[in-house]
Structure 1
Amino acid sequence: MRVLAESELEEAEWAKQRYEQLNLIDEKRQTALCHGQCYQQRMARAFNARVRHREFNPGDLVLRKPLPVPACCKPHCRPLSSSVFFRLHVHVASAHSVISTCILSI
């Protein structure tokens, strides 16, 4: 209100300017949102162009690349098994998931 009294603007004029400022902020926010979505689509397109598509059948053996675990880790941080391959099972929704492991001696 002090700004309103100092600038000697009518209340209606002040409200109109404030409304225009808020509209400008909304337009800038919408523009930034649109640019963000376009950027996300470009990144997804670039990533998907490099992905090699593979099809797996039920029962296929899939090589697992475990992350190296330091020797100083506590027992609850270590992997449960040292198997190299997983056997895939297909669910009703045709999603592939790793259910059981096939332990192979190498």
Structure 2
Amino acid sequence: MVPVVHELADCLLEIEAELRSLGWWESRQPCAQSLASSQPFCVDTLAFEQWLQWVFLPRMKALLEQAGELPARSAITEMAEMAYMEMPGRTVTLRRHLKRFDRLLERHGQAGA
């Protein structure tokens, strides 16, 4: 059986690949002020896909690489559903990967409890 942390790492790669496939992967990082938002998911300064690329993916990859403490729960699926409610067909694969990430994170949290 593959350890959950390896599955989480694979899922992060799938999320990145899907962002690239959708044409939403950016080569230029947003300004520091946009990244420093105090709002959840930087909703006031970034599009959700920007937040995924510039905040979520780097943070999660760093936690996995450093064997840091992962959150026990994530609301990323709910946020994705809200962010992409106007384009459900186009984002179905991305949302599926994010839902898988949430489930794996929850499973990891239960295993550690």
Please indicate the TM-score interval, normalised by the length of the shorter structure: under 0.3
Give TM-score, length-normalised by structure 2: 0.20
The two structures have a TM-score, normalised by structure 1, of 0.21
| Richer in strand (by share) | 1
Larger RCO (alpha carbons 8 Å, 6+ apart):
2
